[in-house]
Chain A
Amino acid sequence: MTRLPRWLLVLAVIAAAFAVLPLVGLASRANWAQLPGQLATPSARTALGLSLRTAAASTALCITLGVPLGFALAALKGVARAVLRAILLAPLVLPPVVSGLGLLYAFGRRGLLGATLDAAGIPVAFTTAAVVLAQAFVAMPFVVVSVEAALAARDGRLEAIAATLGAGRSRILRVITLPGIGVAVAMGAVLAFARSLGEFGATLTFAGSLEGVTRTAALQIYLARESDPQAAVALGLVLVALAILIVAAAARPGRRAIP
């Protein structure tokens, strides 16, 4: 590797410090001796459990719907594809409170589908299902963009050969294409899980906050910092650790995917 100019190294060190310092700040406020006790409280355990369960459900939803959407997007061409991609990926960068309001006006009691859902006896607002919907809304783009990019990188020769051999469309998809983009799907899913775990604004706006039902770990941290900042820090550190583990896991298959 060539030697880097010194000024660049200085900026890089500042950047790294900027990224790491808030994590150090969190750790500096933790009461390490009491940490296990703070994490063992019913509120903390309930919130963490709810977060893990809803994030898992959200990831399943993201894969079930996001993979087909990625395929459909990759099948499009030109401007239509670019425009549709921009719209579908917008939740990644939307302010979460805006996502929450949108969900409210779509699935809420007075929303576009809300009245129909309510009449059918499926109320959404203030339920755990609302948490999963909020998470899936913001996390699905990770799966869609991952699948679309992986498909764009394939030349389609194997699929063409399989077709000449008489394989049906679904069979080609199942036996050739899907295994070919498996790593990309897994990476998208891992990132979707991480994003679901960290969801806060849309959940608070759309689902509310009630222990055991809608109060995920992020919401519990937000509440606990009012009365017990140390407990908030303890739960926050768990989320930091999970985030680092998840991103590390996502980066490893990523290296293999790019030869």
Chain B
Amino acid sequence: MRLRNPLAAAALAAACSLSVGACAAEDDAPTRVTINVYAAASLSEVFAALAEQYETAHPGVSIRLTFAGSSDLAAQINEGAPADIFASANEAQMGVVAEHVAGMAELFASNTLTIAVPRGNPGGVTDFASLANPGLKVVVCAPEVPCGAATALVEEKLGVILSPVSELTNVTDVLGAVSSGEADAGLVYVTDVARAKEVEGIPFAGSASVATRYPIAVLTGAHAPTAARSFVDFVLGQQGQAALLAAGFATSDGGASDVTALNGTAPDVTAPDASAVG
């Protein structure tokens, strides 16, 4: 019994320090608010820059960014991670967390696939069809993850079936295999080529027909919903869109994401998708 009370106090202190926003909000003004933003790995550079801009304009707010594959983030959110905002690299993963979305998810950017080759293009890749050449080592994302789902769609639309030597779990690993020269070519996002130093991008006809759309949403568990909403508006606003455009994304019309229509049936959303492309 003697042990229990100090333990409880320590636990309480730990809980407070973990959710700064919640504990600070109970204090009197001026409040210091922390917004936890969970964002897809492909957004790392541009969101880091945007967060800095936002913090400069809003001195009371600090943005804490967590970057990982969208599927990882979605799983963490469903397991109760303290996220205020989720910015996903495709709509299916936003659908996975649909029951945690406050209001509607909104589209804020889109991205298309391109061919990445090691500098100098040692494999002599010219277009998408040339990726099917025997002897060429091609790496792609596995169909279970957003970039792999897009890859499978492109293959289907262009009628070119690839025989990859490796199917990786995220686009960064694909980029790594290409930039190290292990692979002759890989399918990555346009924005990945823009941020990688050792690779060249080879655009191909038909890539625009499969655009991956990025939705963003405030989550129901948000500790500071008003501040979180304000950051989402910032991303959707002129400054946010300009930064995304500069990073190689196509900006979106800001329309509502399809996934909001799927509220309630969230856990099933990806299942048919995955089996269709897998």
Contact = CB atoms under 8 A, between A and B. Distances in A.
Interface of A: 10, 104, 108-110, 125-126, 204-205, 208-211, 213-215, 222-229
15 contacts: A10-B3, A104-B182, A110-B182, A125-B182, A209-B142, A209-B166, A210-B164, A210-B165, A214-B166, A223-B144, A223-B169, A224-B144, A226-B169, A227-B271, A227-B274
Interface of A is mostly: loop
Contacts of A228: 274
Given A108-B180, A109-B182, A126-B137, A227 B144 contact: yes
Contacts of B258: none
B180 A208 contact: no
B75 A109 contact: no
Interface string B161-196: 000111111000100110011110000000000000
A211 B69 CA distance: 21
A208 B75 contact: no
B33 interface: no
A224 B177 CA distance: 21
Contacts of B166: 126, 208-210, 214
Contacts of B278: 227
Residues of B in contact with A, size category: 20 to 34
Nearest to A101: B180
A231 to B, nearest CB: 11
A158 B142 CA distance: 58
Nearest to A213: B165
A110 B181 contact: yes
Contacts of A126: 137, 165-166, 182-183
A229 B75 contact: yes
B270 A108 contact: no
Interface in B197-213: none
